[in-house]
Amino acid sequence: MERHSSYSPVRRFTKAAFAVQLAVLSATSAAQTSSDDDIEVVNVTGSRIPRAEVVSTSPVTSVEEFQLKLDRAVNVEDIIFKLPQAPSSGASGSSATTIDLRALGQNRTLVLLDGTRAVPFGFRNAVDVNAIPAGLIKRVDVLTGGAAAVYGADAVAGVVNFIMNDDFDGVEFSTSYEMPEDGAEQFNAEAIFGGDILDGKGHLTGFVSYADRQALYAGDREFAMENNTEVINTGGYYTDVASGNSFGIDDSGSLTEDRNTVDSTAGSYLVSPMTRQSTGLFWDVDLHDNVTMYGRALYSQMDVWSSGSVGQTPISVNEEVTLTEDNPYITDEIADQLTFDENGEAVVNVERNLGLGLQKTKTDRDRFQFQVGFRGDITDYLRYDGYFQHGKTDESDTVYNSGYETTASGTSSFAEIANSVNIFDPSVALTDLETTLTYHTRERTQNVAAITFSGESTPLFELPAGPVSYAVGYEYRREAGVQRPGDAFSLGTTYSSSSSVYIDASFYSKEAYLEVLVPLLVDKPFIQELDFEGAYRVSSYSNTDADDTHKLGLNWTINDDWRVRWTRQSAFRAPNLGEFAGPVSALSLAIFDPYSDQFISSLAGRFEGDPCLLGTGDAEQCARFGAPEVGTEWDSSTAQYTYGGNPDIRPEKADSTTIGVVYTPDYIDGFDLTVDWYQIEINDAIWVIQPAAALQSCYIDNPVASNPLCDAVLRDPETGFITTALVNDFNVSSFAQEGLDISAQYKFDAPQSIGGEFSFNYSANIVTLAEKQLDPTLPVEDCKGTYGTACTGDYASSLQADYKHRMSFGWALEALNMQVSWRRIGDVVYASDPSISIAAQNYVDVAASWQVNDSLNIGAGIDNLFNKEAPVPEAGATRFNTVSGYDVVGRSIGVSMRYTPML
């Protein structure tokens, strides 16, 4: 009977009959010749050294193809949602789905396809993983902890490696349909084909896929409607400037004394509708005994409707306009409230919903990647593998139900029609003001060229425990992006407060790397095998200084039952295009200054005055930087508050340590247990610092000349007054996290009376420490088991539970597989007020598959069987009264079918 595993990290392989980790299987494997015997050589996630055994020092968890099919995964989002190592991230109203390992930020997780980089969609290097066709994924490997020495920058929190089914043989048609209540239905159809070509000298695998996800609206879920968003209605509210008379018009058209509002929440997206078409080819061809050409060509086209950068509030006006006495829509009742001058004109402040509906953004995103490579043997002990890949993402964001606030001549668009349409009729939508607007178009490209030589030391020497294995290589990478804003959003002529800017930036890196696998001891007392793994990468970046990175690791196989592993790695994250090349925008500092008449109270806390003028600053430090005397008058409107990229930014630095134990006792057949402790520390993390914090540090808390935060606020060299507050990206943050990853699997025969095999799988993440300090002026935040924006860091999840697991129990018969799973997100407290909490959330899923015959497989299941609703905390909700990361869909019934014709 064939055995399948799901979230198990381990399985037995034999070389001296010791246990190894299943999850470290890599994207490719090929039979090659080494020494005198034919052995299978595989690559492992977290290493570039091909080897005969699936052993690695790095802790990697895997989700296998069997589990993906049983879960009926339509989008990669459906897979990530159930991983304990990633913050729970259900479907949302955004236009992209990204991965945030360890809640350390999506831009600190490296996403790979078959061991090479996937193409980002934006300027923060994040990858929209929903562009990856879930139906073609053979396995997902999750390596948590730094891996920069092996894969380069960005692998700070870890690596997610999507292993594609590139060796498929035959033809398969599949389809699935998910049916939640009242929305978010998902449909997927896919065809996969593969087989040998050129008389067996090559292999070709191809696929065509279509996926569709319907919208789920806030109005379809009770929890999302508990605190509604009220906006002005289409009847409007009017104030006569001369007399001060005010009146509103309700939804029936009657005049009222009060301002009338309507709820705009119900039509907002809880889950964004999406369609995706994708196709691709994978190939390999033996051109010569020692030359194999391989590659892939992947294309996907996605349309996603979302809230976008402009949000989903309806457009409204709140401005003074001139209404004329001959306006045919002004009734006597309205005219009695207005004051017309001798010219028959009345100046009226009008606040009105335009009636265009909720704003929404359509994102069209095309993604293409082409790769071609050559690999083979140079000798029996030396191999080569070189490739080039080009990737490109084209994106266009279009905003609907919006319009231009000002005309081409600079006058108010609403004022121009105020006397020609009935603005007092709540049934009239002011469609004359409606225009479809381009928010921006974006082109993101990535080129990578790399070559690796790997082999063994056998021709030169062998250690007593065996030959040294190695990999040495070189990689060149160029990242580039161009963003072109729509004219309305670059000039600020829309009703939206959002803006878009022009960006044209690029950088390149050159890196050389070396990795070794050294067998130290074999067949000694308490040491069945002891291996050392080391890696070193030298990096050069065109846009910043870069640190060299290293990896040190030990694999200690004590006996057939026990294995211990240890790694110590350094990593870095280079500034991405948005951080070092984002254009700088400026506002008047006066709107942030509580001592200014232009102060806007909603912006309080960002600037609290110049401590040198207020007398709260250190006198020597103020004199050192040439500040004016205490009490000197200053007009803050002459200074600027600037924000954007920083060309002088440095890479983030990280160190990670892992210690793990793998236990596979011979006396408990089918049982595996893995426990890994990890520690990740990130310094010089990129974040922004507000001028109030910078001035507090420079002039009060740490008044020394070398304080780097002093450079965040600039002074005029002659007058000493503040001229610029630089709210740009700086290397000011630090993060630290420690915890445990636990995985267990047990397979055993069911009682003979029922037959088959039972299986138990458990995968959990326990966080024992999570600290973040967003800048040196702030205290260290204890983020373990919290939710809320106080601990989000840079592009990190707002839900940071300190315990998550997925536990499943399965029963496999010859043609039938059944499974019940329990997902748990531990209780959390509000980071800003620990007295407020959210209880632990539990979700139960059931699934089954039936192999009807050799060609047909039918599956069915229910996710969130008991229809657990998203929790509503007393405070700190980040989205629709709940916290992003909890299941907002509820119970979902799904069916699937796979047909493999016998050819």
Q: Nearest to residue 783, comparing CAs of 682, 704, 859, 903?
A: 682
Q: Are strands 856-863 and 841-851 parallel, antiparallel or unpaired?
A: antiparallel
The mean pLDDT value for 710-731 works out to 90
738 neighbors 58 (Cβ within 8 angstroms): no
What DSSP string describes 537-578?
EEEEESSS----EEEEEEEEE-SSSEEEEEEEEEEEE---HH
Q: Identify the weakest region by mean pLDDT among 19-33, 600-614, 882-896.
A: 19-33
Distance CA 360, CA 312 (A): 6
Residues 508-528 pLDDT 10s: 999 999 999 999 999 999 999
Instruction: Classify domain 10-221+271-308+362-402+435-579+652-688+731-899 at the CATH superfamily level.
Output: TonB-dependent receptor, beta-barrel domain (2.40.170.20)
User: Residue 17: what pLDDT?
Assistant: 30
Q: Are strands 60-64 and 19-21 parallel, antiparallel or unpaired?
A: unpaired
Residues 160-204 pLDDT 10s: 899 888 889 999 999 999 999 888 999 999 999 999 999 999 999
Distance CA 484, CA 28 (A): 39
Distance CA 425, CA 329 (A): 9
Per-residue pLDDT at 493 exceeds 60: yes
Per-residue pLDDT at 1 exceeds 60: no
Per-residue pLDDT at 35 exceeds 80: no
The mean pLDDT value for 468-482 works out to 96
Instruction: Retrieve residue 862's tokens.
Output: 């229910």
Residues 641-681 pLDDT 10s: 888 888 888 999 999 999 999 999 999 999 999 999 999 99
Residue 459, C-beta contacts closer than 8 angstroms, at least 6 positions apart: 379, 381
190 neighbors 175 (Cβ within 8 angstroms): yes
Q: Nearest to residue 84, comparing CAs of 793, 822, 682?
A: 822
Q: How many CB atoms lie within 10 A of CB 288?
A: 9
Per-residue pLDDT at 305 exceeds 60: yes
Backbone dihedral angles phi then psi of residue 306, each to the nearest 5 degrees? -150, 180
Ramachandran assignment for 198, one of left (phi > 0), alpha (psi -120 to 50 degrees), beta (any other)? left
638 neighbors 731 (Cβ within 8 angstroms): no
Residues 778-789 pLDDT 10s: 788 899 999 987
Binned at pLDDT 50, 70 and 90, residue 36 comes out as very low
Q: Nearest to residue 291, comparing CAs of 152, 357, 385, 197?
A: 385
Distance CA 3, CA 173 (A): 23
Binned at pLDDT 50, 70 and 90, residue 145 comes out as confident
Per-residue pLDDT at 404 exceeds 60: yes
20 neighbors 122 (Cβ within 8 angstroms): no
The CA-atom distances, in angstroms, between 876 and each of 80, 339, 769, 828 are 24, 46, 22, 12
Q: Nearest to residue 293, comparing CAs of 375, 401, 411, 171?
A: 375
Distance CA 509, CA 543 (A): 9
* CA dihedral for 62, 65, 66, 67, sign (positive or negative): positive
Strand ranges inside 326-379, DSSP E: 345-358, 360-379
Per DSSP, the chain holds a count of helices (H) and strands (E) of 10, 48
- Under DSSP, is residue 623 helix (H, G, I), strand (E, B) or coil? helix
User: Residue 585: what pLDDT?
Assistant: 78
The mean pLDDT value for 471-479 works out to 97
Counting Cα atoms < 13 Å in the Cβ hemisphere of 186 gives: 24
Per-residue pLDDT at 4 exceeds 60: no
184 neighbors 271 (Cβ within 8 angstroms): yes
Distance CA 415, CA 323 (A): 9
The CA-atom distances, in angstroms, between 180 and each of 91, 550, 843 are 13, 47, 15
User: Residue 583: what pLDDT?
Assistant: 80
More confident residue, 206 or 547: 206
The CA-atom distances, in angstroms, between 413 and each of 241, 279, 318 are 20, 45, 12
Q: Identify the weakest region by mean pLDDT among 560-574, 615-629, 685-699.
A: 685-699
Residues 761-812 pLDDT 10s: 999 999 999 999 887 777 888 999 999 877 776 567 788 899 999 999 999 9
Per-residue pLDDT at 497 exceeds 50: yes
Q: Give the rounded percent of residues in the chain with a pLDDT score beyond 70.
A: 93
Q: Identify the weakest region by mean pLDDT among 85-94, 257-266, 296-305, 667-676.
A: 85-94
Distance CA 877, CA 874 (A): 8
Per the prediction, the chain carries an average pLDDT of 88
The CA-atom distances, in angstroms, between 494 and each of 433, 486, 643, 662, 676 are 11, 10, 21, 59, 53
User: Residue 87: what pLDDT?
Assistant: 62
Q: Give the rounded percent of residues in the chain with a pLDDT score beyond 90.
A: 64
Residues 407-451 pLDDT 10s: 888 899 999 999 999 999 999 999 999 999 999 999 999 999 999
The ranges of the chain annotated as CATH 2.40.170.20 are: 10-221+271-308+362-402+435-579+652-688+731-899
User: Residue 100: what pLDDT?
Assistant: 85
Per-residue pLDDT at 24 exceeds 70: no
Per-residue pLDDT at 228 exceeds 90: no
